[in-house]
């Protein structure tokens, strides 16, 4: 095993995974490990080694939020069933203090949500200053499931690309750093993961008979994903495309993207708003 696994990133993940418009999504190798030259054991070791830094950075964000800071981070997770969105939440987001996390999953809109525009429920779930927001699925479903299942006329969903970009520009301008991650597993891997959900009673709750319908529309979903990536990857809200057949790689990659995003805020610990020495003296005298 490598002494310093960090060096096994031959290209930083922010660079290796950042979506380049026009790249052919159907050519993605789902078992590849872009940028990473190490093996699984090295990857798992680096993931574990990152935990304290990630936790510290998130705590600094939280601390700034408590002392008047306006920054927040939003991690958007997109991917079809079994792509590993839940695993990212458990294993990557799970490394930080849950007090500072605002997690939200987006399913079929409820009756109440349907009374409003599609961004209504999204706006309500945006992270407050100091928080790490995590979206398991997101506003982008409006150009994915809505498009593939023809839930809206073409004329309507076509307008969403522009709306999504305008919305994210507004969110970014308000102080939220947006990190968008799209996870992709191969059709074979998806089949195996669905089979496991059927085999294991502890996974039945994750299985949805509708997943097979989605699977049968894979080519249409890939067209929709391709266009989503090409049209909604912007400077303030870039997409990172993560091949996810190897769970350890996907988790490591998202950990690195998140760590890098938090580092880029360059927050440090907020300065005390009181006289530290005076307080020490008061404490000693108490
Ligand atoms: P899960 O992520 O397994 O809980 O599944 C959530 C389901 O909600 C998926 O089948 C999504 O396609 C569906 N979904 C999410 N957003 C929308 C939306 N805006 N319109 C219709 N279905 C949606
Ligand atoms: Mg599901």
Residue 20, ligand 1, Cβ within 6 A: no
Q: Which of 77, 108, 117, 210 for mutating ligand 1's site (highest number of atoms within 8 Å of CB)?
A: 108
Strand (E) positions, 124-277? 132-136, 176-184, 239-243
pTM summary value? 0.97
Query: Residue 206 C-alpha to ligand 2 middle, in angstroms?
Result: 6
Dist. CA 33–CA 13, nearest whole Å: 10
- DSSP string covering 50-89, please? HHHHHHHHHHHHHHHHHTT---EEEEEEE--TTSSHHHHH
Which among 233, 200, 195 has a CA at the least distance from the CA of 215?
Answer: 195
CA 270/CA 272 separation, integer angstroms: 6
Contact 141 CB / ligand 1 (< 6 Å): yes
Atom of ligand 1 nearest to the CA of 81: 3
Contact 64, 102 (CB under 8 A): no
Which residue's CA is minimally distant from atom 6 of ligand 1?
107
Please give the pLDDT value at position 139. Answer: 98
Q: How many CA atoms lie within 13 A of 12 on its CB side?
A: 8
Which of 135, 145, 163 is the best mutation target for the ligand 1 pocket, counting ligand atoms within 8 Å of the beta carbon and taking the most? 145
Check the CA dihedral 230-233-238-241 and report its sign. negative
Q: How far is the CA of 140 from the centre of ligand 1 (A)?
A: 11
**pLDDT truncated to tens, each residue of the chain (286 aa)?**
677 899 999 999 999 999 999 999 999 999 999 999 999 999 999 999 999 999 999 999 999 999 999 999 999 999 999 999 999 999 999 999 999 999 999 999 999 999 999 999 999 999 999 999 999 999 999 999 999 999 999 999 999 999 999 999 999 999 999 999 999 999 999 999 999 999 999 999 999 999 999 999 999 999 999 999 999 999 999 999 999 999 999 999 999 999 999 999 999 999 999 999 999 999 999 9
Q: How far apart are CA 80 and CA 183, in angstroms?
A: 8
Residue 111: the pLDDT is 98
Report the distance separating Cα 45 and Cα 6, nearest Å.
Answer: 10
What pLDDT sits at residue 121?
A: 98
pLDDT at 4: 87
Return d(Cα 125, Cα 103) in angstroms, integer.
8
Can you tell me which atom of ligand 1 is nearest the CA of 145? 12
Q: Which domains does the chain have, with CATH numbers?
A: 5-265 (3.40.50.300)
- The C-alpha atoms of residue 239 and residue 229 are separated, in whole angstroms, by 7
Q: Whose CA is nearest to atom 11 of ligand 1?
A: 107
């Amino acid at each position: 095993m490598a002494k310093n696994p960090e060096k096994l990133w031959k290209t930083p993940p922010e660079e290796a995974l950042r979506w380049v418009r026009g790249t052919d999504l159907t050519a993605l190798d789902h078992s590849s490990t872009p940028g990473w030259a190490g093996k699984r054991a090295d990857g798992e070791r680096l993931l574990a080694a990152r935990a304290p830094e990630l936790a510290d950075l998130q705590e600094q964000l939280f601390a700034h939020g408590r002392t008047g800071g306006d920054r927040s981070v939003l991690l958007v997770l997109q991917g079809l069933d079994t792509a590993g969105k839940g695993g990212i939440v458990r294993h990557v987001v799970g490394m930080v203090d849950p007090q500072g996390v605002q997690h939200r999953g987006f399913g079929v809109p409820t009756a109440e949500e349907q009374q409003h525009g599609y961004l209504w429920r999204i706006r309500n779930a945006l992270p407050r200053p100091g928080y790490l927001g995590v979206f398991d699925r997101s506003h982008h479903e409006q150009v994915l499931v809505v498009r593939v299942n023809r839930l809206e006329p073409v004329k309507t969903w076509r307008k969403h690309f522009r709306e999504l970009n305008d919305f994210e520009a507004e969110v970014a301008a308000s102080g939220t750093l947006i990190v968008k991650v799209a996870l992709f597993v191969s059709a074979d891997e998806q089949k195996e993961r669905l089979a496991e959900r059927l085999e294991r009673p502890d996974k039945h709750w994750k299985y949805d008979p509708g997943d097979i319908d989605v699977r049968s529309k894979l080519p249409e979903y890939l067209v929709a994903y391709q266009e989503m990536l090409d049209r909604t990857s912007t400077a303030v809200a870039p997409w990172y495309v993560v091949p996810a057949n190897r769970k350890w790689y996907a988790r490591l990659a998202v950990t690195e993207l998140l760590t890098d995003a938090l580092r880029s805020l360059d927050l440090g610990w907020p300065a005390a708003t009181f006289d530290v020495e005076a307080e020490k003296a008061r404490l000693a005298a108490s």
